[in-house]
Amino acid sequence: MGDQHSEFATVDDFRRVFDAAQDHMVILDSELRIADANASFLAAYGTDRTAVRAWRCYQLTHRRTSPCTGPGEACPVAHAFRTGESSHELHEHKLSDGSVQYVDVLASPLTDESGAVTHVLEAMRDITPIVRRLRRADDDLRHSEALHRDLFDSAQTGMFRTRGDDGQFVAVNEQLAAMLGTTPAELIGQSAVAIWADSEARGRLLETLRAEGQVVDAEVEVKTRAGERRHWLVSMKVLAETGELQGSARDVTDQRALEHQLRQSQKMEAVGRLAGGVAHDFNNLLTVISSFCSFARDSLSPSDPARADIVEALGAAERAARLTRQLLAFSRNHVEAPEVMSLNEIVLGADAMLRRVLGEDVEFVTIACDNLWHARIDPSQLDQVLVNLAVNARDAMDSGGTLTIETANEVVSDAQGRRQGLAPGDYVLMSVRDDGCGMSDEVLAHVFEPFFTTKEVGKGTGLGLATCYGIVQSAGGHIAVASEPGRGTTFEVYLPRAAAAPTPWRHRDSTGVPAGGGETVLVVEDEPGVRRLACRTLRAYGYEVIEAENGGIALLCCEQHEGDIDLLLTDVVMPQLGGPDLAARLAPLRPAMKVLFMSGYIDKPLAPDGAFAGGGAFLAKPFLPKDLARKVRTLLDGDPVG
């Protein structure tokens, strides 16, 4: 071998280099026996040169891709003998202490002068730390991929990946598939283009992606497998290494519906506050106008020509009062007297009135549910809802048609409640259905808005349906509408089922008003016209009257008046000290004094027995003198309802 390695001066030089090498080295003969081994090898395997000459190379291999079991095998050593070419492989060697060492084996042929391979030099470099680091990294990668897959599959947000060129889904999680009403397996390989409801919006989104590389929370409209249109918030980015699109999606359809309901509610609430404030002032004026017209009418003989004019003025005042009641019903500040009742009584009882409203060319059909649950609502307000819906239906049926009013018991589920903005539970349903011209989606979007109307100028105020909305909302219910052009309209009124027993019907005395017996009444009203009217009326009916223009003066009057004060008649809404607060402060001074509130605008409903929520009886403005006198008399006589 000295001739084969002439660069070394002697065999001893070769030996020194051979033993000094850090890599394990062995020289093998053609039988794959170890002819020699260096010091590094002998130390690692715990042997010596004499013992190692009995080993064959394949006895070193603990594990390799193709385990070498004999000289005929295609291991690197055998390959070097056969071809005269070097080769290498990664092996696992079991050392003398039982541990495993990973080695990179390089087998190089050694030739004689004729070029024949006589021996093979096998150099083995220990790469155990590198292999172990790589395997740990590989294990970490597999663990990370498994964790990513678990997060991907279990995420409550829809997640996906598509090929950028054709938009085919290459990965989809369970949530996204559920949002589309399908499964991941059915989506993989399908084009994402099919789920878009708006191709133009998709084009704009892709342009943004190409320009910026990502989009964040873009709102898009998609189609589910069932054809339903849903609103998604989508975020996507382009993966630079593959060109694929990776993204996430959240279904915000229900959220958008709730936001729309909130905006509508806020808008109607704002207009309602304005309407209520106007109606309050207007009711004061109407009280004065109608009452003094009543005084003038009663002072004239039936043959007096002026009497007819005054009667016309009274009629106009009554029509104006109805308009303010609509405004207050819309603003949910109408003076309510709710009762627990069956809607069937109202629907069937309104038959004659509604037939007059509808006219002869409209057929009127009622379908009353047997064993209908009870609901709690002001019957006069429900009458108003029926009339407004009937008038709306009549105007939609120019050439005649059929109006059907039907009652039913309805159990609202969680899903239905979310769609309609209702709490789940039991409801009494009243549907009003016509076969008229119907409404477009654009009209439906504004149908309950105040002063919105599609009728000609002079044919409608735009308050009818807004009034219905306010009344039903005030009763804790909900009103929904469904319509299509040419296919009629259906309004559905949901009222919560009442657990209480029905309110007994109260017969009211319509006879003349008894005169007073000299009782003292303290009248507190900041509107001068209404105050003069109340005082004049009470004096005319035989009462002693103390007059106060505000709460502060009323307190002084009570402190200074030495006699009894039998009744406090006070406005509810007044500057600085309102009626309820005034009554509370006077109660310790005059414990026997009864209280009658008057207003055309309150923000709380009456109690079931007709009493004001703050205590005391209530008289709604506008009122006529006899209404005031009757209310005072019945209250003083001990009937709190009157």
Question: Of the ranges 147-156, 390-399, 485-494, which is most confident?
Answer: 485-494
Q: Model confidence over 162-207: pLDDT tens digits?
A: 886 567 888 888 888 888 888 888 888 888 887 887 778 888 888 8
The answer to whether 267 touches 449, Cβ cutoff 8 Å, is: yes
The pairs formed by 364-368 with CB atoms below 8 angstroms and a separation of 24 or more are 364/402, 364/403, 364/405, 365/402, 365/403, 365/404, 365/405, 366/404, 366/405, 366/406, 367/404, 367/405, 367/406, 367/407, 368/344, 368/406, 368/407
What is the per-residue pLDDT for 309? 84
Taking only the tens place, the pLDDT of each residue in 346-385 is 888 777 767 777 777 888 888 989 889 999 887 777 877 8
High-pLDDT (> 90) share of the chain, %: 14
- Mean pLDDT over residues 227-250, rounded? 84
Express each pLDDT in 591-600 by its tens digit: 999 999 988 7
Whether residue 607 is predicted with pLDDT greater than 70 in this model: the reply is no
The model's pLDDT over 393-413, given as tens digits with 9 standing for 90+, comes to 888 887 888 889 999 999 988
With 80 as the cut, is the pLDDT of residue 142 above it? no
Average pLDDT over residues 602-625: 65
As a whole number, mean pLDDT of residues 217-243 equals 85
Instruction: Supply the DSSP string of 49-60, one letter for each residue.
Output: HHHHTT-BGGGT
Q: What is the pLDDT of residue 186?
A: 87
Instruction: Identify the pLDDT of residue 212.
Output: 84
In one letter, which amino acid is 399? Answer: S
Instruction: Give the range among 310-324, 372-386, 531-545, 555-569 with minimum mean pLDDT.
Output: 310-324
Residue-level pLDDT at 506: 43
> In the prediction, which pLDDT does 461 show?
52
* 426-439 pLDDT, tens digit each: 999 999 999 888 88
User: What pLDDT does 544 receive?
Assistant: 94
pTM of the model: 0.42
CATH class of the domain comprising 155-251? alpha beta
Lowest mean pLDDT among 6-20, 27-41, 220-234: 6-20
Would you call 60 exposed, middle or buried from its count of C-beta atoms within 10 A (0-12, 13-18, 19+)? buried
pLDDT of residue 585: 92
The whole-angstrom separation of Cα 592 and Cα 638 is 12
Task: Give residue 407's pLDDT.
Answer: 92
Domain boundaries, the chain: 3-132, 155-251, 256-331, 339-496, 520-636
Most confidently modeled range among 8-12, 240-244, 398-402, 455-459: 398-402
Residue 169 DSSP symbol = E
pLDDT at 206: 81
Dmax over Cα atoms in the chain, in whole Å?
157
What is the tens place of the pLDDT at every residue in 65-105? Answer: 444 544 445 577 778 888 888 887 887 777 667 778 788 88
Q: Are 520 and 543 spatial neighbours (Cβ–Cβ below 8 Å)?
A: yes
pLDDT at 555 over 90: yes
Report the CATH number of the 256-331 domain: 1.10.287
pLDDT of residue 524: 95
CA torsion angle 515 550 608 320 (round to 10): 80
Q: Which long-range contacts (CB under 8 A, 24 or more apart) does 420-425 make?
A: 420/478, 420/480, 420/494, 421/258, 421/261, 421/478, 422/478, 422/494, 425/496, 425/497
CA torsion angle 216 217 223 225 (round to 10): 80
Write down the CATH number for the domain with range 339-496.
Answer: 3.30.565.10
Mean pLDDT computed over every residue of the chain: 79
The pLDDT of residue 10 is 65
User: Structure tokens of 40?
Assistant: 């590094």
- Give the model confidence (pLDDT) of 567-581 as tens digits: 999 998 888 898 899
Segment among 55-64, 223-232, 387-396 with least mean pLDDT: 55-64
- Domain 520-636 sits in CATH at 3.40.50.2300
Q: Which of 89-98, 214-223, 475-484 has the least mean pLDDT? A: 89-98
Residue 5 is predicted with a pLDDT of 44
Q: What are the tens digits of pLDDT across the range 246-291?
A: 888 888 888 887 777 777 667 666 666 666 667 667 777 777 888 7
Q: Do domains 256-331 and 339-496 have the same CATH topology?
A: no
The answer to whether 26 touches 76, Cβ cutoff 8 Å, is: no
Structure tokens at 453: 């109307």
Q: Answer whether residue 634 shows pLDDT above 60.
A: yes
Fold of 3-132: Beta-Lactamase (3.30.450)
**In one letter, which amino acid is 167?**
G
Give the residue with greater pLDDT, 322 vs 224.
224
Partners of 540 in the β-ladder: none
Q: What is the mean pLDDT of residues 230-239?
A: 86
- Output the pLDDT for position 510: 40
Residue 113, judged by CB atoms within 10 A of its CB (0-12, 13-18, 19+), counts as: exposed
- pLDDT for 603 equals 53
Average the pLDDT over 310-339 and give the result: 67
Q: Identify the weakest region by mean pLDDT among 113-117, 212-216, 285-289.
A: 285-289
Cα distances (angstroms) measured from residue 360 to each of 363, 385, 460: 7, 21, 21
**pLDDT computed for residue 1 by the predictor:** 44
Higher pLDDT, 98 or 10: 98
Q: How high is the pLDDT of residue 548?
A: 93
